[in-house]
Amino acid sequence: MDTQSAKSNILVVGFGGIGTITAYNLEAGRLAAVTGVLRSNYGLVTEHGFKIWSCDHGDIPCWKPTNIVRQVPDTQSGLTAPYDYIVVIAPAVTDSHTVIVLIQNGLNIEKPVIQAFPNNVVISGISRMSSAEVSPGRIFHQDHDILIIGAFRNSNLEVEKEVQAAKHFTMLYNASGKASGRYAEDVAFMRWRKLCYNASYNSLCAITGLDTSKLRLAETPVTELLLPAMMEIMNIAQAAGVTLAPDQVNISLAADPIDGYFRPSMQQDIEKGNFMEIETIVGEPVREAQRLGVPAPTLTFIYSLLKTLQIKMKMEKGMIELPPMKNYAAGGMLVKIKSEIAP
């Protein structure tokens, strides 16, 4: 990439609440040109753009990324310039050149990517903003945009190359003067710290339908579910060689203002009828606990409930074929059953 003159060529896939603000902020710094991959809202945004209400950037009545496409471009054809930074995998990745930025929650998300692209730098992006797509093409961003950036360690590459790429992306993110891109060297520590919040709040808000404020105000979920889940994450991290702050549970518990009524990403997903990222946020910590011999009963129970909700969603979408329901009404059977169970 040319860090002196031309804008960095960035591909962004996923234009929900966080993805849209991330893309907008990159272009607002005037050092990046974003190509956005839009699917369900391609026609709407192409014609009307995004309507954004942002605590950092103000009200933007109509914004479109520099380029809008329906699917991930194939740079291998030579018809599209190589991307300097990208948040997805093939066919847009250019070997050794493209830096893959994973702005998503969870644990071990980098492993399949590094395996598929051993010659490319992979960056960890941990977003701490509160932003939601309230309706197609309409984004409400209510909490300051903080993105914690660092490089996942890839033993195939020199550390200096990884650090340089992560610091350059941090500079691009800070160029707008509106967001806070923070470079962090210890990626594992930052991810386990975020998991203390996500594995508990994200999961339980999705299961109960209560936002983070209402969950805390209910009190019982705090003592019987939130705190035990957070403590289990602390213990698993410790066994994995990552020591979190002694007061991390208190920090995570109060991460959102009590009057913020914030709905985490998994709660937003299930409300929209979208699949939740349960494997990286809860499944991986549970598997780490099993591998390391650390008890995690609360997280295991939460993981089971989330998988059940995911299966329910698949049934509702017709992705699981169910046997036909037996007709018990035949021959007066339904009347007989009702009479037997009536009080």
User: What is the residue extent of each domain of the chain?
Assistant: 8-185, 193-316
CATH 3.40.190.10 fits 8-185, yes or no: no
Q: Report pLDDT for 2.
A: 43
8-185 and 193-316 share one fold: no
Q: Report pLDDT for 3.
A: 42
Residues of the chain short of pLDDT 70, as ranges, are 1-5, 77-79, 88-91, 327-343
Q: Report pLDDT for 4.
A: 41
Fold that domain 193-316 belongs to in CATH: N-(1-d-carboxylethyl)-l-norvaline Dehydrogenase; domain 2 (1.10.1040)
Q: Report pLDDT for 1.
A: 43
Helix/strand/coil (H/E/C) assignment for every residue in the chain: CCCCCCCEEEEEECCCHHHHHHHHHHHHCCCEEEEEECCCCHHHHHHHCEEEEECCCEEEEEECCCEEECCCCCHHHCCCCCCCEECCCCCCCCCCCCEEEEECCCCCCCHHHHHHCCCCCEEEEEECCEEEEEECCEEEEEECCEEEEEECCCCCCCHHHHHHHHHHHHHHHHCCCCCEEEECCCHHHHHHHHHHHHHHHHHHHHHHCCCHHHHHHCCHHHHHHHHHHHHHHHHHHHHCCCCCCCCHHHHHHCCCCCCCCCCCHHHHHHHHCCCCCHHHHHHHHHHHHHHHCCCCHHHHHHHHHHHHHHHHHHHHCCCCCCCCCCCCCHHHHHHHHHHHHCC
Look over the chain and give the mean of its residue pLDDT values, rounded to a whole number: 90
Q: Report pLDDT for 76.
A: 72
